Amino acid sequence: MAKKKKVTSNKVTKHVKKAYKKNPKAVTTLFIIVLLLVVGAFVYLYLNGYLDEYLNQEEDKNPPVESLYEQDENGFYYYNLTGYDSGDYYYRAKDLAGEDLAQELHIIINDGFNKVSYGDARYILAMSDRDPKNNNESVRGMYDNDVIATYWIGTGEGRWQREHVWPNSKLGVPSVDNNTKNQASDVHNLRAITGINQTRSNRYFNEGDGSAKTIGTEAFYPGDDHKGDVARILFYMDIMYEELELTNDTTKLTNNSATNYTPAGAYSGLLNLLIKWHKEDPVDEFEVQRNNFIYNGIATNPNGKEITPQGNRNPFIDKPELVHLIWEGKEIEDLIKPEEDTVEMAYTKINIIYYVKLSKDEKWFC
């Protein structure tokens, strides 16, 4: 059997050139037709979604964080029916709203609460504030997403601090030290932070956009990525400590040396703005992971001694719809998802991520 002649690219090029010399118009017309067919095919495949998987390969390596909870078109979180069985963490809050719900949540999150010292909080934050977007290989800085070491550095290069989201001067207690065990050492209110801590100072939170920045001389915008986190932390503090109060009155929020570090100055806000931020910047994986670790994660100090977990949770991370029931006058029936979608909602990724049946005997591992 005779061997087939191998067609090389050089031979193809020679044939094309030869054909072009004989009939340039025909070759040019053919080339244009082929080009139009290729472009037309590409446009058709693109418009009909056949190229999506290929075009989005790079983007899919770092997909955007999806909201862990469903919201309606106005940002209201749907009422989650799970987690209210006997023995569940929120069992006693079932079917409650308004002041009754607030009072019951206060009891729930104080039950089993272990006061952690401000000194030990350093080592808890090194674990609780790990950044899942960076495979938990760094700690996420508050307000600016700074990349922070996974161990405490108090001085020198790489040093970081503990930010009081509800400012220490507005907590109604004296300035904190490492031995302090009160609302000034509550880990839910503390976040790992670097130099922007001094920029925020004790400024109250106010509206802005984009990255974190001061607003005038008295206020501070926490940044688009952090405003929801701020809101849920402040909601927790308001429910946890009876001496603290959220307000819309800016005269109670501005820096005042006469009331700083006293019960008369124990305010934070702005409440209505925090509710808005809670809807606009929903709970993400970082908050869920952090909430779980504060509840029962085990951190150790530099000597290897285990630190007893704080032992309580932030309800507004677990069940963000409770904000509407406490501060917006909503009733449970106002937040029930339309009946045709209820079954789907009850078994969403929410339950997979942080609980199907949450009891105090369960352990969390981050």
Per-residue model confidence as pLDDT tens digits over 71-112: 999 999 999 999 999 999 999 999 999 999 999 999 999 999
Q: pLDDT tens across 129-139, in order?
A: 999 999 999 99
b/e sequence 190-219, b meaning 16+ C-beta within 10 Å: bbbbbebbeebebbbbbebeeebbeeeeeb
Mean pLDDT, residues 181-186: 98
What is the average pLDDT value for the chain, to the nearest integer? Answer: 86
Q: What are the φ and ψ backbone dihedral angles of 71, each rounded to 5 degrees?
A: -130, 155
Mean pLDDT, residues 167-190: 98
Residue bearing tokens 């607003």: 215
DSSP 166: S
Q: Cα dihedral sign for 116, 122, 123, 128?
A: positive
Per-residue pLDDT at 164 exceeds 70 = yes
Taking the C-alpha atoms of residue 199 and residue 220, their distance in angstroms, rounded to an integer, is 8
pLDDT band of residue 28 (cuts 50, 70, 90) is confident
85 Cα distance to chain centroid? 27
Per-residue pLDDT at 35 exceeds 90 = no
Structure confidence at residue 118 (pLDDT): 98
Per-residue pLDDT at 285 exceeds 60 = yes
Taking the C-alpha atoms of residue 166 and residue 135, their distance in angstroms, rounded to an integer, is 28
Per-residue pLDDT at 53 exceeds 80 = no
What does the domain layout of the chain look like in residue ranges? 9-52, 91-354
pLDDT band of residue 65 (cuts 50, 70, 90) is very low
Per-residue pLDDT at 364 exceeds 50 = no
Taking the C-alpha atoms of residue 206 and residue 220, their distance in angstroms, rounded to an integer, is 6
Mean pLDDT, residues 266-285: 97
Structure confidence at residue 341 (pLDDT): 52
Q: For a pLDDT cut of 90, what percent of the chain falls above it?
A: 73
Residue (of 282, 284, 269, 285) closest to 327 by Cα position: 269
Mean pLDDT, residues 34-49: 65
Higher-confidence residue of 174 and 341: namely 174
pLDDT band of residue 354 (cuts 50, 70, 90) is very low
Neighbouring CB atoms inside 10 A of 6's CB total: 6
pTM: 0.76
Higher-confidence residue of 54 and 156: namely 156
User: What are the distances in angstroms from CA 149 to CA 134, 206, 293?
Assistant: 12, 29, 18
User: Checking DSSP bridges between strand 213-215 and strand 219-221, what pairing results, if any?
Assistant: antiparallel
Taking the C-alpha atoms of residue 266 and residue 328, their distance in angstroms, rounded to an integer, is 22
Residue type, 326: I
Across 2-6, 26-30, 205-209, 267-271, least confident range: 2-6
Q: pLDDT tens across 244-261, in order?
A: 999 999 999 999 999 999
Per-residue pLDDT at 280 exceeds 70 = yes
Structure confidence at residue 78 (pLDDT): 97
